[in-house]
């Protein structure tokens, strides 16, 4: 169940709902931050999977890297940005609460990928590194030293609304990237 929260169907809907909410509150930097976090993580993870599937990147098998975890990358980038947005207007101990909550969620999503045998630990680590780099860049450019004002209660309800309505729906991003890579690879060989 927890792994679904890292699926593209959930993270894309979560991103769209968060972006629209922030636009309504005229928080354009924050809206752009969460939208770009999703887009850049999706692009980076897609390109890395494409490079591995087509054979443009060949990794030694001793590392057991077969396909970087998109769930880990997307979760870290999107939910990490969400936590930074919520945390920006908090003070004291309340500033770390969003980070603790979303870090736990991201960790559980990542571990679930290994537990379900969808990815190796190395795949999850590579996905987390990709998501972490995206998160750091987004934070540094858009959120560092910014205080974002909006109705936090309504904003924090977004994940729960998305979770209830979208949970269980899956977007076949992995298989689409794999098929496109195979098609591209066979096209280039012919």
Q: How far apart are CA 54 and CA 62, in angstroms?
A: 19
CB 78 within 8 A of CB 34: yes
**Inter-residue long-range contacts of 147-154, CB under 8 Å, 24+ positions, other chains counted:** 147/88, 147/89, 148/22, 148/27, 148/29, 148/30, 148/85, 148/88, 148/89, 149/25, 149/27, 149/89, 150/21, 150/22, 150/25, 150/27, 150/30, 150/89, 151/25, 152/86, 152/89, 154/21
**Structure confidence at residue 190 (pLDDT):** 61
**Structure confidence at residue 11 (pLDDT):** 93
CB 37 within 8 A of CB 81: yes
Q: Where are the alpha helices (DSSP H) in 55-96?
A: 70-87
Look-up: residue for tokens 């590579």?
126
**Structure confidence at residue 149 (pLDDT):** 79
How many CB atoms neighbour CB 66 within 10 A? 15
**Structure confidence at residue 160 (pLDDT):** 74
**Structure confidence at residue 189 (pLDDT):** 67
Full DSSP string of 105-124: HHHHHHHHHHHTTSS-HHHH
CB 21 within 8 A of CB 158: yes
pLDDT along the chain (190 residues), means of 10: 89 92 92 97 94 79 83 97 92 93 96 95 96 97 87 78 77 81 74
**Structure confidence at residue 58 (pLDDT):** 74
């Amino acid at each position: 169940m927890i792994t679904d929260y890292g699926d593209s169907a959930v993270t894309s809907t979560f991103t769209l709902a968060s972006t629209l909410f922030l636009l309504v509150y005229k928080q354009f930097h924050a809206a752009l931050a969460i939208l770009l976090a999703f887009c850049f993580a999706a692009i980076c993870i897609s390109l890395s999977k494409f490079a591995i599937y087509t054979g443009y990147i060949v990794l030694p098998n001793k590392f057991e890297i077969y396909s970087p975890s998109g769930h880990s990358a997307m979760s870290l980038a999107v939910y990490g940005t969400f936590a930074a947005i919520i945390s920006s207007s908090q003070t004291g101990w309340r500033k770390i609460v969003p980070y603790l909550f979303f870090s736990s969620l991201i960790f559980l999503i990542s571990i679930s990928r290994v537990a379900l045998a969808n990815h190796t630990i190395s795949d999850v680590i590579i996905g987390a590194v990709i998501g972490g780099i995206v998160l750091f860049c987004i934070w540094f450019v858009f959120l560092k030293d910014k205080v974002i004002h909006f109705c936090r209660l309504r904003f924090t309800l977004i994940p729960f609304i998305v979770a209830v309505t979208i949970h269980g729906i899956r977007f076949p991003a992995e298989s689409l990237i794999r098929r496109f890579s195979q098609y591209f690879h066979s096209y280039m060989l012919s």
